[in-house]
Amino acid sequence: MVSRLSRQLIAAEQPILAAQSVSMWGYIVLTALDRTPLRTQAALARAIGADKTRIIGVLDDLQERGFIRREPDPADRRVHLLALTPAGRRLHARVRRAILQAEERLLSQMSAADRQTFLRVLQALDELDEPG
C-alpha cells in the first residue's frame, strides 16, 4: 500500500524541512516556481494540486521572508506574478540538496541502477498526474 509508505516518507522529510524553517507546502511552492518562474496563484495551486485558499498563507510567509516576489501584473491587475528571488532560489537548492541526501541514505541499500530507475519512474508518474 502506498498510503502508509508515503506517510512515513513525509514524516521523514519533516525534520529536514523544519531545519530550514520551510513548510512542506513552502517547499512544494519553491520547487514549482523554480521550474517555471512566473504564474498566477490559481495556476500555482492547480499545478501543485493544492487549495487556492490554503496556499495564500504559504505565499505570505515566503514573501515576507524574501524568498518570492509577488507583484500584480501590470497587464492584468487581478493576477499576481510569482517568481523566486535569488534568496529563494538558494533556499530551494539548499533544501533540495538536504532532501536528496536523505533519499540517498534511504536508497543506499539498492543498487545504483535500481535507484536510478526508481527515481525516473517516480518522476514520470509525477508528471503523468499533473494534467489530470
Which residues in this chain contact DNA in the complex, by CB under 7 A? 7, 24-25, 40-43, 49-54, 56-57, 59, 70, 75-80
Partner whose binding site includes residue 15, from DNA, its own copies, none (CB under 5 to 8 Å by kind): none
Amino acid at the residue 16: I
Partner whose binding site includes residue 77, from DNA, its own copies, none (CB under 5 to 8 Å by kind): DNA
- State the Rg of the chain over Cα: 16
The answer to whether the CB of 73 falls within 8 A of the CB of 47 is no
The answer to whether the CB of 87 falls within 8 A of the CB of 30 is no
Q: In the block, which residue shows the cell 531545519? A: 19
71 vs 120, beta carbon nearer its own copies: 120
Residue 114 C-alpha from the chain's centroid: 24
- For residue 88, the minimal CB distance to DNA (Å) is 17
Partner whose binding site includes residue 109, from DNA, its own copies, none (CB under 5 to 8 Å by kind): its own copies
